[in-house]
Structure 1
C-alpha cells in the first residue's frame, strides 16, 4: 500500500510541477494534498490505537513497585527493584506491593492476588509459600527470599505476551496489504497502458501524461488505508472500555462465528470481591441485623479479609457500629470482646469443633463459602457466610447470550464440599 501511495504522490507531484513550469495540462496539487491528508489521518488514527494499547501495558507495569526493602543483617536498605538479585531477602510491609517473585521465609499474611490470578479471596501466605510480584500484602509484614527478577518474573512474562500479541497483524490487515500489493501492480500497469494507448492514438504527450496520472491517482486505495486503521482503533477502544484486552486480533475478528462460550467465574461472572453472601440469627433474642451489627463492631478491630467483608456489609446496610471493650484476638480461631455488657465472639468452625458445639443445618453450607459463627456467652447465636458476589449484570448477560443460541459453560476451580458433619453438643 505504501508503494502505491508513494508512486501516486511522486507521479502527481512531478507532473504538476512540470505543468507549473510550462508543460501543457492540468495540475493535481489539490488532489495530491487531499491524498496526503487522508493517508496521514489514517496513520494518526492507527498510532492512537497503538498508544491506547500501550497504556494498557503501562497499567500492568505500574503493578510493580519501584523500590524494595532489602534486608542486610540487622539493617534494612531501600533499593530500586531493578537492583534486586536472586536469593536477596526483602521486607514487605503491611499493604505494600510485592516487588518480585519469591518465597516467604519469615512471617504470615494474607495477599491480594486478584489482579494476577483472578482469585478474589486474599490468599494466606506463611513460611515456605510462593508469592508473586505485583500482588498486594495484607496487614502483616513478611520477609521474602527473591527467586525471580526482571524478565523471569510472572508479571513480566504476562507483559511480554501482551506486547507480542499487540504487534501481530490481524487477518483483515494482512488481506488489505495483499489487495494493495496487487492493486499497485494493476495501477502501474493501467497507467502505463493508458500512456502508450493515447500516444498510439496520436494524442500529444501532455494529453497522454495527464490521463496516466489521473488513472494512477484514482487507483490509490486511500479509503482502504483509512478504513482498516479506523476499524482497528474503534474496536480496540470499545473493547478496552468494556474491560476486554485483545490478545489475538484474528481471533477477535472471528468472534462473530462463536457458538459456545466458556466463562471464568471469579471477576467475570462475579465481582471478584470477598463479601457477605448470607447471615442469620439462631437466637430468638437477637434479630439478623442486630447480629450483623454486633459482629461488625467486633471485626472493625481486625485487619483480616473476613473482618473487612463483614464491616463493609454492615455499613452498606446502614447499621451503626457499637463500642467494643476488652477486645482480644484468638490466634487462628477468631476474636472476642464485650459489647453493651455482652461477651461476644466471632469464631471459625474449628473453634466450635474444639469446644463440642453443634453446628445447625441452616448454618452449614455445601457451597463455596467461608462461614464464621457468632457466640454470646459461649452459646451459638448466629452465623455469617462470605463468598464472592455475583455481578449485577451477569444474569442479564447470560440471558442475552442464550437468546442468541449460544452454548454457555463455566470454568472454575471451586469444588463442592461434602455435607458438613454435626459435632456433638456438650450442652
Structure 2
C-alpha cells in the first residue's frame, strides 16, 4: 500500500469523527489491480557457473541467478560467504604453487642470473602449472563460458583467453615444439586475478536477500474456523477463498482477506513503511503480513497464492531485479574491448609472420599478444578502487550492495524520493498552536499535553514531545477515557478536558474558526481541538515533520541540475505542501505500490538515469526498478535488501556523498585502467613484432617487469581516492 496515512486527515476529516482515526484513508480495495500479475515462481536458472566464476557481475547483481529462494541451503548470503572462502582458498593454494613454478621458470632464472636443471624439472613445472590452471583458473573458465552463452564478453573471457593460451602453448613447448614456455605468466596471472576478485568480493559482501525477506514476512500457519465453529491449525497454503480465519491479538495476519467480525488497530508498517496504525473493522480489507493489535479479528480469505498483495510485491521486485541484472560494470566493458583487440591483433600477427615461413616464431608472437592483452594490472585496477571506495563509503554511512548501480550514480538525471520517513521524519510534530480568546498558548498545550500522556497514539506522541520540549508542567489526570468515535476525555482539576477531531466538533455543534482550520488543513496538517467542559480552548495542528537535512539535499541536487521528484501515497494537498516547502521539481501523489514502479519506468523514458530512495515494502518494487535504489537504514528489511545502496544513518543528505564517491571512484578506475591499457598500447605492438626488423621485440622477462610496474602504480593510485 502507498503511504496514505500520514497527513491524510484534512482530505477525509468529515468522515473521521475521532481524531485517532485521522489516517484511515483506505486504499486496500485497490489490491484487486494486482491480479493481472503472475506470481514469481522462482523459475530463474540457478547458474552455478556464473556464481562461481563471474565475480565482476555476481558480486553486485543481488544474486539474481538464484531461483529457489526458499531452499537454497543458507540463502544468498551463505552462498556468497562460501564463494568468498572458495576464492580465498584457491588464491592461497595457487600462490603456494606459483612459488616453485616461478623459481623453476627459465625466464626468472635468466632475469636473476641463476640456473637450475635436473631430471624431470620440465615435468614438475608442467604438473604444478596444470594444478594451478585447473584449480585456480576454474572460476574464470566457468565465468568465460557464461559470458559466451550470454553473449556478453567481459573480464572472465579476457582472463580465460590469456590463461588457456599460456597453458596450451607452454605444454606444447615443454614436450612437442621449440619455444619459450609461459608457465610463470600463467601462474602469476591466475594468482593476481584471484587476489583481485577476492579483494573485490570481500569489499562488497552483502548479497541481496530481498525475496527471501519478503517470503519470511508471511506466517506459515493460520487459525481456521471450520463449519462446526471449531478452530483448527492449518497451513496457509491450504487456505481457500471463502475460508474464515481467526487472528488473535499481536499475531501477523496470515493472508489477504475481508474482516467480517471484530475491531482492532493493525500495524501495516512492515508493508507500507507507514508508522501510523490503521483502525480496522468489519467490511475493511486486511493484508497478509500486517500485525494485528489488541483486538481479535475474524477474516474471510479473499486472495490466496499468486493473488495476494505480498506475492505481487515479490513479482514486481523480481521482474525489476532481473531486468537490472543485465548491466555490465566499467571493468567488464574495458575487458570486452581488450578481448576484441587481442583476438584481432593476434590473428593479424599470426597471419603476417606465417607468411615468412617461420611458423614457430609466428605462433610464439601470437601467443605473446594474447597473454599480454590481459595485464596483471587489469585484475587489480578496479578491485583496489572498489575496496578503497567501499571503505570510504562505510565511514560516510553508505552500505554499497550493488556495485554496478553505484558506479553509474554519477550519471543520475532524476532522484525520486518517498515522503514519509525519507524527506520527513515519519513522526508527528506540533506545527501550530491556536488558542481561543482568553486562553494562553502555554495553557492550551499544557491541557493537551497532560491528557495525551495517557495515550500512545502517534498524534498523542507528537503533542507529548512538544510539551516536553517546552518543559511544560503536567496536570494530574483522572478518569482517562478513549471513546471510539468521540475522542479522548479526562478529568483535570474537576474539569472535563476533551481532545476531538473536526468531525466531532461538527457533530456536537461546537463552532470554531473555519478559516483558520481550512488554512491549516490545506497545508495537509492534522488539526485537533481542545475542549474544557465543552468550551473550545483552541486548536493544535500537527504534521509529519520535514527533516532539516531534506532542505539542504534538495537545494544542492537542484543546483547540480538533477531533477528532484517526490512520490508518495499521501493525498495531493499534503504532498504539494511538502513539495512547495522543499522546492521539489515534481510531486506525484496518491500512488499505490505497483504504480510507484510504473512511475519510475516512465521517469526513465528517454534514457534518463533515475534513482529512487525509500524505506517501505511498498517502495521495494520501485527501488528495484530504478537505475539506483537507495534505502533509508531505518526502513523495512525488504526495502534495505532490495536497495543498491543503504543510507546507514537514515539521512537523505548522504545521497550527495553517493554521487561524489561514484564520480571519484569512476575517475580512479579510468586512471587505473588507463595505466593497464597504456601498458598494452606499447606492449601489444612490440609483442606482435612490429619492431622486430630493428631488433626490438618484447620478451617475457621485459613484459613481466613492465607488468609489475603497472600493477604497483595502480595500487598506489587507488589508495589516493578521496572525496570532500
Q: Which TM-score applies when normalising by structure 2?
A: 0.48
Distance 1:227 1:170 in 2: 23
Distance 1:76 1:49 in 2: 51
Equivalent in the alignment of 2:551 = 395
Equivalent in the alignment of 2:346 = 191
> Which deviates more from structure 2 when the two are superposed, residues 405-414 or residues 1-10?
405-414
Which of 526, 529, 533 is matched with 1:370 structurally? 526
Equivalent in the alignment of 2:189 = 35
SS of the residue 1:393 aligns to: helix
Q: 1:58 to 1:47 in 2, by over 3 A?
A: farther
Per-residue deviation, 1:12: 0.9
Equivalent in the alignment of 1:332 = 485
Per-residue deviation, 1:333: 0.9
SS of the residue 1:52 aligns to: coil
1:351 aligns with 2:504: yes
1:101 aligns with 2:256: yes
SS of the residue 2:162 aligns to: helix
Alignment of 1:4-403 (within 5 A): 4-19=158-173, 25-40=179-194, 52-72=206-226, 74-117=229-272, 119=274, 121-168=276-323, 173=328, 184=339, 186-195=341-350, 197-198=352-353, 200-201=355-356, 203=358, 205=360, 207-220=361-374, 253=408, 256=411, 258=413, 263-282=417-436, 284=438, 287-288=441-442, 290-315=443-468, 317=470, 319=472, 321-360=474-513, 361-362=515-516, 365=520, 366-403=522-559
What's the CA shift string for 1:253-309, capped at 9, x where partnerless? 487262x66654334322233443333433645552x54343344334345443344
Distance 2:378 2:256 in 1: 46
SS of the residue 2:246 aligns to: strand
SS of the residue 1:148 aligns to: coil
Equivalent in the alignment of 1:424 = none
Equivalent in the alignment of 2:137 = none
Per-residue deviation, 1:388: 1.8
SS of the residue 2:302 aligns to: strand
Aligned alpha-carbon RMSD (Å): 4.3
Distance 1:50 1:167 in 2: 20
Q: 1:82 to 1:316 in 2, by over 3 A?
A: farther
Q: 1:319 to 1:211 in 2, by over 3 A?
A: farther
Distance 1:172 1:298 in 2: 57
What's the CA shift string for 1:108-143, capped at 9, x where partnerless? 334344454455544333222223223343443322
When you count strand as a share of all residues, which structure comes out higher? 1
Contact kept, 8 Å, 1:139 with 1:304, in 2: the verdict is: no
Structure 1 unmatched ranges of 5 or more: 418-427
Distance 1:82 1:230 in 2: 48
Per-residue deviation, 1:230: 8.7
Structure 2 unmatched ranges of 5 or more: 1-153, 575-724
What's the CA shift string for 1:373-407, capped at 9, x where partnerless? 12222222232223222122111112112222455
When you count helix as a share of all residues, which structure comes out higher? 2
Contact kept, 8 Å, 2:415 with 2:564, in 1: the verdict is: yes
SS of the residue 1:140 aligns to: coil
**Residues paired across the two proteins, number:** 411
Distance 1:232 1:90 in 2: 51
Per-residue deviation, 1:334: 0.7
Distance 1:43 1:408 in 2: 36
Q: 1:238 to 1:163 in 2, by over 3 A?
A: farther
